[in-house]
Amino acid sequence: MKRETGEGVAFALAVIVLLACAVASYHSLGGVKWFIDDKDPQSYVAVVLLMVAFQLIFFFVGEMRPRPDAHGAAAALALYALAAAVFAFLPLEMSLGFWYVRMDLLALAFFFVGSIALVFGSETLWRLRWLALYSLLACPLLAAPAISLEPALTGATADAAQGFASVLGLPVQRAPGNILTTPLSDTAITIAPACAALAATLSLIAFLLPLAYLLKGNAWKRLGWLVAGTVLIIVLNFVRIFTVIYLWQSNGIGSALSFFQSFGGNVLFNLAILAMILSFPLFGLGLPRIRGTSIVSGRLNRAWKEFAADARSLGQPQVAALAVFIIAAGGFSLLDGKVADYSWLQQYEGANFSAEQANPAELPYPDEWDFLGSQTGFSENYTVTRMVFDLNDTQIQAAVFSSGNRTTLDFSAEDELSAEGYYIEGVQKAQLGKGIGAEIVAYSKEGKNYSTLYWTQPAKMGGKSTYAAFLFTVADPARNESSWLTESGRRFVSQLGP
């Protein structure tokens, strides 16, 4: 079959765009888990990134021609501006939330789509609108509604496992906290979030979604195929969990744990993919033409000659667009370097968090602060350690709110102060380093003015991991303490730990 003119250079330019985006987002991609982590539903992101590249090279190359135009350049400029705005404004606004929902990957998606628009033009961008929308799924924020279902899915898994065990006559009882017990064993089993296999389920959907779009066949059949795949992996996970329970009953906890560890979410994912590919005929579906295969089909020499012939036909607009793209990639690389500020958070991946009492001797308060005393109290949500310091006859009230719940990162001093009857006059943002954003709250009560600097972060206390909110409060009658408080916070954060 005669190859369409321009497909060779389109293939090469698509590869260049992908490689340049990968190099420019080195820090962001370095923070991606390139495996399915049962404990982290956001690990599905790797599948999205790989499927973007797979679709571009093997399915869309035939629809792409390097025809840069003014509309494509305008779209690229707008998307590049959005990518830059993500890095310029959101780290301060979102603090560590910027990393936890991977807003850097949203910026990468904007940059990638903008690059397609710049290098190939608006016509190609419109043809690839599906791929553009799909690439946005690389940001877990868009999957937040599904990820928020993990507690409910975990409870449903425990209920289903216990219910099926009862039907089969196995003596399994459900205790609060998704705990299963049996008189046949002294050891209970906890149905943890990892047992819900949400990471594997989201990864499978991320894999099947583009195939459902690309496959040949009726739209309803393709939708049914996608739904069937989702149901299949849920059923496979239930079989896995019930097998664990059966082994726990019959062979003991050691055998059950061994099976669970060797039959993780990645195995479920692989089995489901194999089954869904083999099921194409059952749903009356077929693969579309796979393009971009000349490089891997033994016709490398011919492909190179065709590319060389096409490349000689490139005009000034194509060369100029490619040059601008390379410059833009360099600029994006500089912005992406901000992601390195969050690298210290990776040491807390998979850690067990708990509420801990802060020890003033272990905290890096400035040496010039004279410690006067501390007191620890306990509330429904926090362990609260309050400390008093003196600096040149100025009293500093410091507090640490500690919890094992990640919602501590959403702690609001404004809410606490308002509940105590203080009038909030204003809030300023401040950057303390390491990706940590802080707020300085100016407030008053009964004619007295105060300012509080506060921020939240994971931290180590007594060698244990905890989520903590740190607060520094001073009397501020002249409203001139914000700069000093900010500098104290920066010093504290820089010495607190990794």
**Of 461 and 309, which is predicted with more confidence?**
461
3 band by pLDDT with thresholds 50, 70 and 90:
very low
- pLDDT tens profile 228-278: 999 999 999 998 888 888 888 878 888 888 888 788 889 999 999 999 999
Per-residue model confidence (pLDDT) at position 265? 86
76 band by pLDDT with thresholds 50, 70 and 90:
very high
Residue 432 has pLDDT above 90, yes or no: yes
- pLDDT tens profile 95-113: 999 999 999 999 999 999 9
Residue 220 has pLDDT above 90, yes or no: yes
- pLDDT tens profile 369-417: 999 999 999 988 899 999 999 988 889 999 999 999 989 999 999 998 9
Contacts of 321 (CB under 8 A, 6+ apart): 66, 68, 73, 118, 119
Closest CA to 97 of 140, 128, 57, 136: 140
Residue 363 has pLDDT above 50, yes or no: yes
- pLDDT tens profile 297-336: 444 455 455 555 555 556 677 788 888 989 999 999 999 9
Per-residue model confidence (pLDDT) at position 241? 87
Per the listing, tokens 């509940």 go with: 419
Domains of the chain: 7-149+196-348 (no CATH), 360-496 (3.40.1000)
Per-residue model confidence (pLDDT) at position 27? 94
Concatenate the DSSP letters of all residues of 167-203 into one string: HTT---EEETTTEEEETTEEEEEE--GGGG-HHHHHH
Dihedral-angle region of residue 120 (phi above 0 means left; psi in -120 to 50 means alpha; beta otherwise): alpha
Per-residue model confidence (pLDDT) at position 311? 54
Per-residue model confidence (pLDDT) at position 377? 92
- pLDDT tens profile 48-62: 999 999 999 888 877
Bridge partners (DSSP) of residue 370 are 390
What's the full length of the chain, in residues?
Answer: 498
Closest CA to 291 of 55, 31, 15: 55
Per-residue model confidence (pLDDT) at position 302? 52
User: Measured between alpha carbons, how far is residue 404 from residues 178, 374, 459, 484, 497 in Å?
Assistant: 18, 22, 11, 31, 18
- For 174, list phi and psi in degrees, rounded to 5: -100, 125
- For 390, list phi and psi in degrees, rounded to 5: -130, 135
Mean pLDDT of the chain: 87
Give me the percent of the chain exceeding a pLDDT of 70.
93
- pLDDT tens profile 173-191: 887 778 888 877 777 888 8
